[in-house]
A and B are shown apart, each in its own frame.
Chain A
Amino acid sequence: QKEVEQDPGPLSVPEGAIVSLNCTYSNSAFQYFMWYRQYSRKGPELLMYTYSSGNKEDGRFTAQVDKSSKYISLFIRDSQPSDSATYLCAKTRGGSYIPTFGRGTSLIVHP
């Protein structure tokens, strides 16, 4: 089992929809969780990181961690065509500075 599992999609939604992107993970040691966004032929860019369970909000984006079920989610409100990209979830393990990434989910927001 990979340490971070993510459905590759693609996920296609209409503009204005609420998008839910999800990952599951193994290994429950102390860790941080991250969401990165990657546009085509570009490097990933960090959207958000969180440590504790619960929600963290930044503008239209909300990251949610459920440590009891080992589930991490990213919600995008009022999705825009410019949100069309691949979204990568990642986490670090306790004592490690090396993030482990999921395969990424391709999101398409159509006008």
Chain B
Amino acid sequence: GAGVSQSPSNKVTEKGKDVELRCDPISGHTALYWYRQSLGQGLEFLIYFQGNSAPDKSGLPSDRFSAERTGGSVSTLTIQRTQQEDSAVYLCASSLKARAGTGELFFGEGSRLTVL
């Protein structure tokens, strides 16, 4: 497909379980972002990947959160020992490096996580 693809679209889990969320960016986009959107809140930055550079992890809220990007393409966001406050929509976005500074991000439809 032409857009950013995220899976699963919905995930319900029990408190304490680990979850993995997947993002497949637009082909050729070297910049990849993860954001979190809680009910009534704006987008909270989590992590940013740019090519082979070290990722900017400054937005990760705790060490239970981690992300990797394999082969400069697909990314996985992992949340360990989930808590109820982790319930949110996790949005992935990608961008061409040359356009990333202008804020031209292309978002997926998100993975809606519910922690019971």
Binding site for B on A (CB under 8 A): 4, 6, 8, 32-34, 41-46, 49, 51, 88, 90-92, 96-104
Q: Is the interface of A mostly helix, strand, loop or mixed?
A: loop
Q: Which residues of chain A have C-beta atoms less than 8 A from B42's C-beta?
A: 4, 6, 88, 101-104
Q: Is B107's CB under 8 angstroms from A92's CB?
A: no
Is B48 in contact with chain A by the CB < 8 A criterion? yes
Cα distance A99–B109 in the bound complex, in angstroms: 18
Query: B103 at interface (Cβ–Cβ under 8 A)?
Result: yes
Give the complex CA separation of A49 and B106 in angstroms: 13
> Smallest distance from the beta carbon of B63 to chain A beta carbons, Å?
20
Q: Which residues of A contact B25 (CB under 8 A)?
A: none
Q: 5 A-B pairs, CB-CB below 8 angstroms?
A: A97-B48, A97-B50, A98-B56, A99-B103, A102-B42
Instruction: Provide the bound-state CA to CA distance between A44 and B35, in Å.
Output: 11
For A106, give the chain B residue with the smallest CB separation: B40
What residues of A have a CB within 8 angstroms of the CB of B48 in the complex?
97-98
CB < 8 Å neighbour of A103 from B4, B41, B102: B41
Q: Which residues of A contact B45 (CB under 8 A)?
A: 98-100
Annotate B18-55 by CB proximity to A: 1 below 8 A, 0 otherwise: 00000000000001010100001111010010100000
Q: Is B60 an interface residue (CB 8 A)?
A: no
- Please determine whether A34 and B108 come into contact, CB atoms closer than 8 angstroms: no
Residues A88 and B43 in contact in the complex (CB < 8 Å), given A43-B91, A98-B33: yes
A65 to chain B minimum Cβ distance, whole angstroms, is 13
Q: Are A97 and B100 in contact, CB atoms less than 8 angstroms apart?
A: yes
Residues of A within 8 A of B33 (CB): 98
| A103 & B40 in contact (Cβ 8 Å cutoff) | yes
In the complex, chain B residues 94-116 whose Cβ is within 8 Å of any chain A Cβ: 95, 100-110
By a CB distance below 8 angstroms, the chain B residues around A102 are 42
Q: With a CB–CB cut-off of 8 A, which chain B residues contact A91?
A: 103
**Chain A residue at minimum C-beta to C-beta distance from B33:** A98
CB–CB A49/B100 < 8 A: no
Q: A44-B91, A99-B103 are in contact. List 18 more A-B contacts (CB 8 A).
A: A32-B101, A33-B103, A43-B4, A43-B108, A43-B109, A44-B43, A44-B107, A46-B103, A49-B103, A90-B103, A92-B103, A97-B31, A97-B100, A97-B101, A98-B45, A99-B45, A101-B43, A103-B40
